[in-house]
Amino acid sequence: VIPDSLTTLSEFISQMELMLSAY
């Protein structure tokens, strides 16, 4: 079972990568 906090962290990291790639 994946903790909800881990899922949120994964989504946060994904958004960070999208923002970094936008630069």
pLDDT (0 to 100) of residue 6 = 85
pTM, two decimal places: 0.52
pLDDT (0 to 100) of residue 2 = 67
> Rounded distance, CA 23 to CA 10, Å?
21
pLDDT (0 to 100) of residue 18 = 94
Instruction: Please report which residue ranges of the chain form alpha helices under DSSP H.
Output: 4-22
Q: Convert the pLDDT of each residue in 1-23 to its tens digit.
A: 667 888 899 999 999 999 999 86
**11: exposed, middle or buried (C-beta count within 10 Å: 0-12, 13-18, 19+)?**
exposed
